[in-house]
Amino acid sequence: MKLVTVEDLKEGDIIANDVLLDDYTVVLSKGTVIKTPYIEKLRELQVFTVYIEEKSDEPVEPIVKNVKLTPKENKPPVKKPQVVQKNPQAEKKEEKKSAPKISLEKITILRDEVEVQVRNKIKDILELHVHQKTAGLQKIAETAQNIITDILEEEEVVEKVYDVRERSADIYEHSLQVCTIAALIALKLGMTEKQVYDISVGSLIHDLGLRYLVVRYEDQDINLLPKKEQEEYKKHPIYAYTAIKNETWLSEAAKEIVLNHHEKKDSSGYPLGTDHISRMTQIVGVCDEFDELICGVGKARVRVHEAINNIRNYSGLWYDSDIVDAFLQLIAVYPVGSKVKTNQGETGIVMKQNAHFPERPVIRIMYDRFGQAIQGEKIVNLIKDTTIVIQEVIK
């Protein structure tokens, strides 16, 4: 599947993910075949982007829920346009005048198909791990190595700015996301191959202890739970460490990541409240804190830019500042597809990122400051036009 703007939708495209409004109303369900009236309604509802299937051998009947997008009846017949012969030289001039259309350019750490496969593999391995029986858990080592290999296949992998979006609280996807971002930070900081591997393995099993909890932690700020439930939740690193501490295939560095990934340099973390945490553990801690915030694991979910600001605020206090700096250089503040408002009052959509400038993407202006739709394509590159800044992310 691929992410496209509503402006780039065509009749016959097939919706790959449910299209939701901000109140989670389903506008178009997965599998819907796009028709022109649907595109018009999506524009009216100010839905800027959708996921569509890249290839489909068999067309699927449209399934439309909750919001009516049916075509208007009794429309007059459409007249076929007359074919007009154009001068080839005139056509060439027109092509030069028209600027090339810019498409959404989402950059992810792992390819979509690889991410799905690895996430499912992590789930299978961890679900087989029951009540501290570690048979089969060693397969996570192979998974970690495969992730590193896939990351290293990309050219200039640590020079890119990656799009990470808010999502639901799935601990398997969370573990994978922490692993991939942590591996990138370790590579960016010039750590050894062994250190990158240990960070990856430790990341994939860092939240193993959550499987022993009866406390509900999805989309929950644990600091607002009753004290007894808070205390139980904060034991999950100990549960995980107890399960893996005698495993000879795991290094001591990886085990320390599992035990201490919630510890902080100022001793404000848990479960031990220690300030003796390795740099490898700090790397995983930064990624874990960020991803928990955007997917709602033990925290109230927030937008990506809010989570990034939270990490920035604790640079040097919770984590070494160079680790935070490396993180901030890798993750886009405004992911591709984000609806944003500029200081000029215009509303736009983030189309692509600029390498080395995670806060200055390329945006397509959709509505002017009066809320009127922009005719044609107005593209603003924020590293070229420094007078424009993003002031707000629109939910």
Residue 59's domain is classified under what CATH number? 3.90.105.10
Scored b (16 or more CB within 10 A) or e, 145-170 reads eebbebbeeeeebbebbbbbbeeebb
Q: How far apart are the first and last CA of the chain?
A: 23
Contact 375, 369 (CB under 8 A): no
389 pLDDT higher than 90: yes
Same domain, 123 and 167: yes
329 pLDDT higher than 60: yes
Contact 4, 41 (CB under 8 A): no
Total domains, the chain:
3
Burial of 99 (0-12, 13-18, 19+ CB in 10 A): exposed
Same domain, 66 and 171: no
3-class DSSP state for residue 101? coil
- 103 lies in some domain: no
- 274 lies in some domain: yes
Looking from the CA of 153 toward its CB, the CA atoms found within 13 Å total 10
As a 3-state breakdown, the chain gives helix, strand, coil percent values, each rounded to 5, of 40, 15, 45
- 96 lies in some domain: no
Same domain, 148 and 220: yes
Q: Extract the runs of DSSP E, i.e. beta strands, from 149-277.
A: none
- 323 lies in some domain: yes
Tell me the C-alpha distance between 342 and 338, whole Å.
12
* Percent of the chain whose predicted confidence (pLDDT) is above 70: 86
* Phi-psi sector, 171: left (phi>0), alpha (psi -120 to 50), beta: alpha
| Tens digits of residue pLDDT in 341-367 | 999 999 999 999 999 999 999 999 999
Same domain, 305 and 360: no
Q: Give the CATH number of the domain where residue 197 resides.
A: 1.10.3210.10
Tell me the C-alpha distance between 94 and 87, whole Å.
11
* Inter-CA distances, 261 with 146, 285, 313, 353, Å: 23, 5, 18, 30
Asked whether the CA dihedral 188, 191, 197, 203 is positive or negative, the reply is negative
| Tens digits of residue pLDDT in 197-253 | 999 999 999 999 998 898 999 988 999 999 999 999 999 999 999 999 999 999 999
The secondary structure of residue 32, as a DSSP letter, is P
102 pLDDT higher than 70: yes
Same domain, 346 and 374: yes
Cβ count near 247 (within 10 Å): 14
| Tens digits of residue pLDDT in 238-282 | 999 999 999 999 999 999 999 999 999 999 999 999 999 999 999
Same domain, 181 and 242: yes
141 pLDDT higher than 70: yes
Q: At what angle do helices 279-295 and 321-330 cross, to 10 degrees?
A: 50
pTM recorded for the entire structure: 0.80
- 200 lies in some domain: yes
Same domain, 130 and 246: yes
pLDDT computed for residue 90 by the predictor: 52
* Inter-CA distances, 263 with 149, 175, 237, 260, 276, Å: 29, 17, 10, 5, 8
Scored b (16 or more CB within 10 A) or e, 326-352 reads bbbbbbbbbbbbbbbbbeeebbbbbbb
Stated as kind and residue range, the H or E segment containing 311 is helix 304-313
Tell me the C-alpha distance between 321 and 343, whole Å.
30
| Tens digits of residue pLDDT in 156-171 | 999 999 999 998 889 9
Tell me the C-alpha distance between 252 and 112, whole Å.
32
Which of 95-109, 125-139, 166-180 tops mean pLDDT? 166-180
Q: Which residue has the higher pLDDT, 160 or 103?
A: 160
Structural domain of 159: 112-330
